[in-house]
Amino acid sequence: MQIDIITIFPAYFREAFDYGIIRRACAAGLVSIRAHDLRAWTTDKHHVVDDRPFGGGDGMVLKPEPIFAAVQSLVGASRRESMAAEKRVVLLSPQGKSFTQALAAEFANCEQLVFICGRYEGVDERVAEALVTDEISIGDYVLSGGEPAALVVVDSTVRLLPGALGSETSAANESFSDGSLDCPQYTRPPEFEGMRAPEVLLTGHHAEIARWRREAALEKTKRNRPDLLK
Protein backbone atom coordinates (compact mmCIF):
# COMPACT_ATOMS: atom_id res chain seq x y z
CA MET A 1 0.00 0.00 0.00
CA GLN A 2 1.12 3.54 -0.77
CA ILE A 3 0.09 6.35 1.59
CA ASP A 4 0.68 9.99 0.65
CA ILE A 5 -0.06 12.85 3.04
CA ILE A 6 -0.43 16.38 1.67
CA THR A 7 0.27 18.97 4.36
CA ILE A 8 1.84 22.37 4.95
CA PHE A 9 3.68 20.79 7.92
CA PRO A 10 5.47 17.70 6.51
CA ALA A 11 7.94 17.78 9.45
CA TYR A 12 5.01 17.03 11.78
CA PHE A 13 5.08 13.45 10.45
CA ARG A 14 8.89 12.99 10.64
CA GLU A 15 8.91 10.43 13.45
CA ALA A 16 5.22 9.73 13.73
CA PHE A 17 5.38 6.35 12.00
CA ASP A 18 8.67 5.21 13.56
CA TYR A 19 7.07 3.34 16.46
CA GLY A 20 5.54 -0.04 17.15
CA ILE A 21 3.23 -1.76 14.71
CA ILE A 22 3.39 1.01 12.09
CA ARG A 23 7.20 1.00 12.04
CA ARG A 24 7.18 -2.79 11.65
CA ALA A 25 4.63 -2.62 8.82
CA CYS A 26 6.82 -0.07 6.98
CA ALA A 27 9.99 -2.09 7.59
CA ALA A 28 8.27 -5.24 6.29
CA GLY A 29 7.31 -3.41 3.08
CA LEU A 30 3.55 -3.71 3.72
CA VAL A 31 3.18 0.05 3.31
CA SER A 32 5.18 3.08 2.23
CA ILE A 33 4.17 6.36 3.91
CA ARG A 34 5.29 9.74 2.58
CA ALA A 35 4.42 13.27 3.76
CA HIS A 36 4.55 15.95 1.03
CA ASP A 37 4.78 19.72 1.39
CA LEU A 38 1.75 21.31 -0.28
CA ARG A 39 3.95 24.31 -1.14
CA ALA A 40 5.85 22.12 -3.63
CA TRP A 41 2.79 22.41 -5.91
CA THR A 42 2.54 26.20 -5.85
CA THR A 43 3.72 28.12 -8.92
CA ASP A 44 4.21 31.62 -7.47
CA LYS A 45 7.41 33.05 -6.02
CA HIS A 46 6.15 33.11 -2.43
CA HIS A 47 4.60 29.61 -2.45
CA VAL A 48 1.23 30.88 -1.30
CA VAL A 49 -1.21 28.12 -0.35
CA ASP A 50 -4.07 30.16 1.15
CA ASP A 51 -6.23 33.21 0.49
CA ARG A 52 -9.06 35.23 2.05
CA PRO A 53 -12.55 33.75 1.93
CA PHE A 54 -14.98 35.05 -0.70
CA GLY A 55 -17.85 36.82 1.05
CA GLY A 56 -15.60 37.88 3.93
CA GLY A 57 -15.05 36.35 7.32
CA ASP A 58 -12.19 35.39 9.61
CA GLY A 59 -9.15 33.40 8.70
CA MET A 60 -7.74 32.03 5.50
CA VAL A 61 -8.85 29.27 3.15
CA LEU A 62 -6.55 26.76 1.45
CA LYS A 63 -6.56 27.48 -2.31
CA PRO A 64 -7.70 24.78 -4.73
CA GLU A 65 -4.89 24.92 -7.35
CA PRO A 66 -1.98 23.44 -5.34
CA ILE A 67 -4.23 20.72 -3.87
CA PHE A 68 -5.59 19.64 -7.28
CA ALA A 69 -2.03 19.70 -8.70
CA ALA A 70 -0.74 17.60 -5.79
CA VAL A 71 -3.42 14.94 -6.22
CA GLN A 72 -2.95 14.92 -10.02
CA SER A 73 0.76 14.23 -9.58
CA LEU A 74 0.35 11.63 -6.80
CA VAL A 75 -2.71 9.75 -8.12
CA GLY A 76 -2.65 10.53 -11.86
CA ALA A 77 -6.16 12.01 -11.77
CA SER A 78 -7.74 15.20 -10.49
CA ARG A 79 -11.41 14.25 -10.57
CA ARG A 80 -13.05 11.71 -8.28
CA GLU A 81 -14.79 9.95 -11.24
CA SER A 82 -11.52 9.16 -12.99
CA MET A 83 -9.89 7.44 -10.01
CA ALA A 84 -9.50 3.69 -9.74
CA ALA A 85 -11.69 2.15 -7.02
CA GLU A 86 -8.56 1.02 -5.10
CA LYS A 87 -7.42 4.63 -4.73
CA ARG A 88 -8.99 6.96 -2.20
CA VAL A 89 -8.40 10.66 -1.71
CA VAL A 90 -9.34 11.61 1.85
CA LEU A 91 -9.94 15.13 3.12
CA LEU A 92 -9.65 15.45 6.91
CA SER A 93 -12.12 18.03 8.13
CA PRO A 94 -14.56 18.57 11.00
CA GLN A 95 -17.36 18.66 8.38
CA GLY A 96 -16.64 15.10 7.22
CA LYS A 97 -18.53 11.89 7.92
CA SER A 98 -17.45 10.05 11.07
CA PHE A 99 -14.44 7.80 10.85
CA THR A 100 -15.15 4.25 12.05
CA GLN A 101 -13.44 0.88 12.35
CA ALA A 102 -15.48 -0.25 9.32
CA LEU A 103 -14.00 2.56 7.23
CA ALA A 104 -10.49 1.69 8.48
CA ALA A 105 -11.10 -1.88 7.25
CA GLU A 106 -12.25 -0.54 3.87
CA PHE A 107 -9.15 1.67 3.59
CA ALA A 108 -6.94 -1.31 4.49
CA ASN A 109 -8.07 -2.96 1.22
CA CYS A 110 -6.90 -0.04 -0.93
CA GLU A 111 -3.78 0.22 -3.03
CA GLN A 112 -3.22 3.96 -2.47
CA LEU A 113 -4.54 6.45 0.09
CA VAL A 114 -3.94 10.18 -0.25
CA PHE A 115 -4.70 12.38 2.75
CA ILE A 116 -5.29 16.11 2.44
CA CYS A 117 -4.79 17.90 5.76
CA GLY A 118 -7.02 20.97 6.09
CA ARG A 119 -5.75 24.13 7.80
CA TYR A 120 -6.82 27.63 8.72
CA GLU A 121 -10.55 28.26 8.45
CA GLY A 122 -11.02 25.61 5.82
CA VAL A 123 -10.32 24.28 2.37
CA ASP A 124 -11.88 25.63 -0.84
CA GLU A 125 -15.08 23.57 -1.20
CA ARG A 126 -14.28 22.57 -4.80
CA VAL A 127 -11.77 20.11 -3.28
CA ALA A 128 -14.60 18.30 -1.46
CA GLU A 129 -16.96 18.66 -4.44
CA ALA A 130 -14.79 17.30 -7.23
CA LEU A 131 -11.54 15.81 -5.95
CA VAL A 132 -11.95 13.81 -2.76
CA THR A 133 -13.56 10.40 -2.48
CA ASP A 134 -14.05 10.67 1.30
CA GLU A 135 -14.36 13.71 3.58
CA ILE A 136 -13.72 12.44 7.08
CA SER A 137 -13.91 13.70 10.65
CA ILE A 138 -12.34 11.77 13.54
CA GLY A 139 -14.82 13.16 16.08
CA ASP A 140 -17.08 15.99 17.11
CA TYR A 141 -14.41 18.46 18.13
CA VAL A 142 -12.28 20.92 16.19
CA LEU A 143 -8.55 20.40 15.73
CA SER A 144 -6.26 23.18 14.55
CA GLY A 145 -5.57 21.18 11.41
CA GLY A 146 -6.06 17.81 9.76
CA GLU A 147 -2.58 16.52 10.67
CA PRO A 148 -3.46 14.78 13.97
CA ALA A 149 -6.53 13.31 12.27
CA ALA A 150 -4.38 11.94 9.42
CA LEU A 151 -2.17 10.23 12.03
CA VAL A 152 -5.21 8.62 13.59
CA VAL A 153 -6.63 7.36 10.29
CA VAL A 154 -3.25 6.09 9.01
CA ASP A 155 -2.54 4.27 12.29
CA SER A 156 -5.90 2.54 12.51
CA THR A 157 -5.71 1.52 8.83
CA VAL A 158 -2.11 0.28 8.67
CA ARG A 159 -2.46 -1.99 11.72
CA LEU A 160 -5.21 -3.84 9.80
CA LEU A 161 -2.94 -4.72 6.85
CA PRO A 162 -2.46 -8.48 6.69
CA GLY A 163 0.79 -9.28 8.52
CA ALA A 164 0.95 -6.01 10.50
CA LEU A 165 -0.21 -7.46 13.82
CA GLY A 166 1.71 -10.20 15.60
CA SER A 167 -1.08 -12.73 15.24
CA GLU A 168 -3.72 -12.70 12.52
CA THR A 169 -6.48 -13.20 15.08
CA SER A 170 -5.74 -10.20 17.26
CA ALA A 171 -7.68 -7.68 15.14
CA ALA A 172 -10.77 -9.91 15.20
CA ASN A 173 -11.31 -9.78 18.97
CA GLU A 174 -10.81 -6.12 19.70
CA SER A 175 -13.12 -3.19 20.38
CA PHE A 176 -15.63 -2.30 17.62
CA SER A 177 -14.90 -5.41 15.53
CA ASP A 178 -18.25 -6.85 16.72
CA GLY A 179 -20.03 -3.61 17.62
CA SER A 180 -19.01 -3.49 21.28
CA LEU A 181 -15.92 -2.64 23.33
CA ASP A 182 -13.12 -5.06 24.15
CA CYS A 183 -13.14 -6.81 27.53
CA PRO A 184 -11.00 -5.61 30.48
CA GLN A 185 -7.54 -7.19 30.81
CA TYR A 186 -5.42 -7.92 33.91
CA THR A 187 -1.85 -9.07 34.46
CA ARG A 188 0.40 -9.85 37.44
CA PRO A 189 0.34 -9.28 40.33
CA PRO A 190 -2.99 -11.00 41.15
CA GLU A 191 -3.40 -8.54 44.02
CA PHE A 192 -2.27 -4.90 43.82
CA GLU A 193 -2.86 -2.47 46.72
CA GLY A 194 -5.83 -4.50 47.92
CA MET A 195 -7.40 -4.82 44.46
CA ARG A 196 -7.71 -8.39 43.21
CA ALA A 197 -7.88 -9.47 39.60
CA PRO A 198 -11.08 -11.47 38.91
CA GLU A 199 -10.53 -15.01 40.24
CA VAL A 200 -12.00 -16.68 37.16
CA LEU A 201 -9.10 -15.37 35.04
CA LEU A 202 -6.63 -17.23 37.28
CA THR A 203 -8.39 -20.61 37.01
CA GLY A 204 -7.33 -21.59 33.47
CA HIS A 205 -10.97 -22.57 32.83
CA HIS A 206 -11.27 -21.49 29.17
CA ALA A 207 -15.05 -21.70 28.75
CA GLU A 208 -15.70 -19.73 31.94
CA ILE A 209 -13.05 -17.18 31.08
CA ALA A 210 -14.66 -16.66 27.67
CA ARG A 211 -18.07 -16.22 29.32
CA TRP A 212 -16.69 -13.75 31.90
CA ARG A 213 -15.04 -11.76 29.09
CA ARG A 214 -18.25 -11.52 27.06
CA GLU A 215 -20.20 -10.31 30.10
CA ALA A 216 -17.50 -7.89 31.27
CA ALA A 217 -17.24 -6.41 27.74
CA LEU A 218 -21.00 -5.92 27.66
CA GLU A 219 -20.97 -4.28 31.13
CA LYS A 220 -18.22 -1.91 30.09
CA THR A 221 -19.99 -1.04 26.84
CA LYS A 222 -23.22 -0.30 28.77
CA ARG A 223 -21.32 1.94 31.15
CA ASN A 224 -19.04 3.84 28.74
CA ARG A 225 -20.73 3.58 25.31
CA PRO A 226 -24.44 2.77 25.64
CA ASP A 227 -24.90 4.26 22.13
CA LEU A 228 -23.12 1.21 20.65
CA LEU A 229 -25.80 -1.16 21.99
CA LYS A 230 -28.79 0.66 20.50
- What's the rounded Cα separation, in Å, for the pair 180 and 186? 19
Candidates 11, 142, 195, 207; binder of ligand ADE (CB under 6 A) is: 142
Candidates 8, 83, 138, 201; binder of ligand ADE (CB under 6 A) is: 138
98 strand-pairing partners:
137
Q: How far is the CB of 99 from ligand ADE (least distance, A)?
A: 8
Q: Contact 108/21 with Cβ under 8 angstroms?
A: no
Q: How far is the CB of 188 from ligand ADE (least distance, A)?
A: 39
Stretch that binds ligand ADE, among 80-88, 133-141, 185-193, 204-212 (CB under 6 A): 133-141
Name the residue nearer to ligand ADE (CB basis): 93 or 156.
93
Name the residue nearer to ligand ADE (CB basis): 7 or 93.
93
- What's the rounded Cα separation, in Å, for the pair 75 and 73? 6
- What's the rounded Cα separation, in Å, for the pair 129 and 126? 5
What number of chain residues touch ligand ADE (CB under 6 A)? 12
Name the residue nearer to ligand ADE (CB basis): 98 or 109.
98
Q: Is 48 helix (H, G, I), strand (E, B) or coil?
A: coil
Instruction: Return the ∠ at Cα 217 (arms to 214 and 223), rounded to 5°.
Output: 140
Candidates 10, 66, 122, 146; binder of ligand ADE (CB under 6 A) is: 146
Q: Contact 64/3 with Cβ under 8 angstroms?
A: no
Contacts with ligand ADE by CB under 6 A lie at 92-94, 118, 137-139, 141-143, 146, 149
